[in-house]
Amino acid sequence: MNDRTKRVALISGASRGIGDHVAAELFRQGWAVSLGMRTPAMPQWALGHEGDVHLADYDANDVTAEKRWVDSAFQHFGRIDAIVANAGIMIPKTVIEADDDDIDAMLAVNVKAPRRLAKAAWDALCESGCGRVIILASLSGKRVKSALSGSYSLSKFAAVALSHAIRQAGFDKGVRATAICPGFVATDMAAAISDRPADQLTQPDDLARIIAMLLSLPNEASVAEFAINCQLEEFF
């Protein structure tokens, strides 16, 4: 049986990387979690606690997936208090090399799907009284660090704007949105584009603790953006 007094978070891209760490940390801190995955599978850390862990078949490229996921999670838990829009893709191409398909692919997963997820969960988030939306943006949503990250930056600037737009739309309903803006985090994504050793990158479990802390804050301590970096830059 699941415990309806627990706060409930939906985490997209929970199969691996940052999403898996965020889900595990929230679960450890007493949240019930619904894991959006392209190939749903119960994670090792959840074995024996299946009532508080809900699995959903979730592909960000399917425009009907968010509503199905939200309906199924709501049916399972009876409430939704937070969404963590984490699923994301990075195509390392300059804005000159990229074609429309590359740009569309990143906008679809990094921007359009998180907006649909927030929209699908909106009534439940408002009903919560302290609904929370976390958008896994990036420091690439705050500055364009290199030519090769340019196309990805385009989508992540939009993801930061999405988070601010949700914050504006939901503030008087108790919904708080935060754009998380990390530099390199030691996951498959960073391994594909950075040759820095993994132990010199931000660790996904540290990021997960930051996100859990942000989700624990009261309505009166709203954090619009949170930047995290493993290296020194002028402003971040």
Residues that bind ligand NAP (CB under 6 A): 13, 15-19, 38, 58-61, 86-90, 109, 136, 138, 182, 184-185, 187-190
Instruction: Kindly tell me which of 13 and 131 has the beta carbon lying closer to ligand NAP.
Output: 13
Residue nearest ligand NAP, Cβ-based: 88
Instruction: Kindly tell me which of 64 and 219 has the beta carbon lying closer to ligand NAP.
Output: 64
Q: How far is the CB of 68 from ligand NAP (least distance, A)?
A: 13
Alpha-carbon span 14 to 12, nearest angstrom: 5
Q: How far is the CB of 191 from ligand NAP (least distance, A)?
A: 8
Alpha-carbon span 137 to 156, nearest angstrom: 5
Smallest CA-to-CA distance from 92 within 160, 183, 195, 193 is with 193
Q: How far is the CB of 174 from ligand NAP (least distance, A)?
A: 25
Active-site amino acid positions: 152
Q: How far is the CB of 14 from ligand NAP (least distance, A)?
A: 6
Instruction: Kindly tell me which of 128 and 160 has the beta carbon lying closer to ligand NAP.
Output: 160
Tokens standing for residue 192: 């594909």
Instruction: Kindly tell me which of 128 and 138 has the beta carbon lying closer to ligand NAP.
Output: 138
